[in-house]
Amino acid sequence: MASFPTVAGKVAIVTGSARGIGEEIAYELAKRGAKVMITFTSETSQSRADALVARIAALQNGATSASVRADLALPESPDIIVKATLAAFSTSTIDILVNNAGINLNCPLAALTSAAFDSVFDINVRGAFLMTRAVLPHLPATPGARIVNISSQGARRGFPDYTVYCASKAALEGFTRALAVELGGAGHTVNCVAPGPVRSEMMDMLPEGVVEFQKKRTPMQNRVGTTEDVAPIVAWLVEESSRWVTGQTIAAGGGIEVL
Ligand SMILES: NC(=O)c1ccc[n+]([C@@H]2O[C@H](COP(=O)([O-])OP(=O)(O)OC[C@H]3O[C@@H](n4cnc5c(N)ncnc54)[C@H](OP(=O)(O)O)[C@@H]3O)[C@@H](O)[C@H]2O)c1
């Protein structure tokens, strides 16, 4: 278990962190000493957020956490999350933001409605933009802040019936590169982590044939990833030691992108 306090005392927001990849990222940052705000939107995730707060408290390593319920499809939610974070940790600074919350959509283009398009872009793209804008006034002067956006292999590959999802993740990668330039002068880094298939509730909604195909195409042990495979990569990107990496997309897919 990584227990070295590489981000001790740092204030972090991880969106969509009561379950799935976000939950593991939040726990990994806590293992490294951070104060973590856990965000969620589904009523069913309240108990999972509570359980994660308890797990983090049990680490007894100085890490703390709190949770806030806010729907990132709503433009007002990022300010609610930021206010809750500043209050929970009695701070005026937010050091780390991980834009992880996201949804998928399986829909051939011919059947796509404008509302369905918006439902994906409102969360996967606008949610990350507005969340990031909301933390800007609170970023530390020095050392720099860390922003990590969770993309997907779908940003750079073609998956039929997933045009909107793939396009939303490509937008997130474009946002990452431009913002890295915009914030570089202040010493803040902005990067993406692009997982390949990872066992989670989102993956449970994929057709089994798609998952099997992706396993075959994954050089590393022909398996899907786990949340534990991905979280330490995000954790490194929020540590001081990653300060010379910015504007990048780090593939976290067992090599799926090289085939
Ligand atoms: N699993 C994969 O194979 C895979 C691969 C590549 C990239 N990714 C990306 O990794 C990220 C996490 O995916 P996952 O597999 O962990 O998915 P997941 O298990 O379905 O979790 C999705 C997370 O996003 C949150 N979320 C969804 N809609 C939201 C909204 N309107 N407002 C606020 N939060 C919202 C959910 O919150 P609630 O708990 O409140 O519902 C949940 O925490 C996503 O960005 C996804 O695109 C996943």
With H, G, I as helix, E, B as strand and everything else as coil, classify residue 77. Answer: helix
H or E stretch covering 105: none
Q: Kindly report the protein residue whose alpha carbon is nearest to atom 36 of ligand 1.
A: 16
Q: Which of 13, 14, 15, 21 has most ligand 1 atoms within 8 Å of CB, for mutation?
A: 21
Dist. CA 210–CA 198, nearest whole Å: 12
Please give the tally of structural domains in the chain. 1
Q: Within a domain: residue 79?
A: yes
Is there a contact between 25 and 98 (Cβ–Cβ < 8 Å)?
A: yes
Q: Are 226 and 23 in contact (CB under 8 A)?
A: no
Q: Is residue 1 exposed (0-12), middle (13-18) or buried (19+ Cβ within 10 Å)?
A: exposed
Structural domain includes residue 3: no
Residue 150 counted as domain residue? yes
- Residue 169 annotated in active site: yes
Instruction: Note the pLDDT tens digit of each residue in 29-54.
Output: 999 999 999 999 999 999 999 999 99
pLDDT < 70 positions in the chain: 1-3
CATH number of the domain at 52, please.
Answer: 3.40.50.720
pLDDT score for 19? 98
Residue 18 Cα to ligand 1 midpoint, Å, equals 10
Task: Examine the residue annotation and report whether 165 is marked as an active-site residue of this protein.
Answer: yes
Which residues are CB-contacts of 194 (< 8 A; sequence separation ≥ 6)?
150, 151, 152, 153, 155, 156, 169, 173, 249, 250, 251, 252, 253, 257
Q: What is the pLDDT of residue 3?
A: 56
Q: Answer whether 203 contacts ligand 1 (Cβ < 6 A).
A: yes
Residues 45, 67, 77, 151: which is the catalytic one?
151
pLDDT (0 to 100) of residue 128:
99
Asked if residue 258 belongs to a domain, the reply is no
Residue 151 appears among annotated catalytic residues: yes
